[in-house]
Structure 1
Amino acid sequence: MSLMFQPLKKYADFSGRARRSEYWLFTLFIIVVEIAYFILVSAIGGGTSGNMNPIGMVLSGLYFLFVLGILIPSLAVSFRRLHDTDRSAWWLLIALLPFVGGLVLLVFTVLPGTNGPNKFGPDPKSSSTGDTAAVFS
């Protein structure tokens, strides 16, 4: 659970590396919030006809603030995830290519990180196991 909110703790940390679990749990959190928002807005009748009721407007404003609030952490964890696979964060721009760009980025984020340290920092897996070992020793 703590990995899910780790990107919020490292709000603007664009350096270092992020494990797959940190990246994907944060992505899952965002998806769950978005699905809940869309279900709630649909249930109260906040459709797209332009006649949104006041509650729908408030929810839309809250959703807008949520999106603004997670923009920087989302970028930061994406940078760190690419760093874990020994790729520059410039690879995020590939998502701008229609169709294939998103698929390439998906593959990059699913691939395991490089073992041991790379040019972006130490292996996040080895540092977490070291902390666990220190607790039990």
Structure 2
Amino acid sequence: MTFSGRATCPEYWYFRLFEFIFYFVIEIIDSISGSIFPWLVVYILMFLPGIAVGMRRLHDTGRSGWWVWLPSASFSVIVVYHASFLYKLNPSGGHLSPLVFLPIIPFLLCPIATLIFLCQPGTPGNNRFGPPPGNGRG
């Protein structure tokens, strides 16, 4: 598992396909056993490799690997906003105007931007993250 270098688009999406199938199998095991333990193991096993392949994929498009954290950061901001600010606006739990959700729209768009970056083709030739994958070093 490496966080430096570049990953091709198929390498990234095959990893995500493997991860999806792995989660599906764990869900079947979980439904049979009724235990949360398999999910905990899967998240621990898949977290760092998922971050690593995402960073390398973003490197291939010429972007910093830090973009991979943007969806998580956006989700955190939305949760904090919802939990604190909206409760202060309406502690009784009634209906709120949809306008109170306007400040979180940019944070909803951040994961979409990251997904678009992950789907773009890699930069041809060398970039600041090294040679393209498959050139003897990749």
- Answering whether residue 116 of structure 2 is matched by residue 107 of structure 1, we say yes
Structure 2 CA distance, aligned partners of 1:66 and 1:25?
Answer: 17
| Letter matched to residue 29 of structure 1 | F
Question: How many positions carry a matched residue from both structures?
Answer: 105
Structure 2 CA distance, aligned partners of 1:39 and 1:62?
Answer: 10
- How does 1:37-52 map onto structure 2 within 5 Å? 37-42=26-31, 44=32
Q: CA deviation at 1:36?
A: 2.8
Unaligned runs of 5+ in 2: 75-106
What is the root-mean-square deviation in Å for CA atoms of aligned residues? 2.1
**Larger-Rg structure:** 2
The answer to whether the Cα contact below 8 Å between 2:3 and 2:53 also exists between their aligned partners in 1 is: yes
Tell me the residue number matched to 1:83.
59
Structure 2 CA distance, aligned partners of 1:30 and 1:117?
Answer: 29
Query: After superposition, what is the alpha-carbon deviation per residue over 1:39-88, rounded to whole angstroms, capped at 9, x for unaligned?
Result: 4434x3xxxxxxxxxx221xx21221121011111111111001000001
Question: What is the TM-score normalised by the length of structure 2?
Answer: 0.68
- Answering whether residue 50 of structure 2 is matched by residue 74 of structure 1, we say yes
- Answering whether residue 14 of structure 2 is matched by residue 14 of structure 1, we say no
Tell me the residue number matched to 2:97.
none
- Answering whether residue 37 of structure 2 is matched by residue 28 of structure 1, we say no
What percent of counterpart residues are identical?
38
Pair 1:62–1:38, CA change in 2 (3 A) = closer
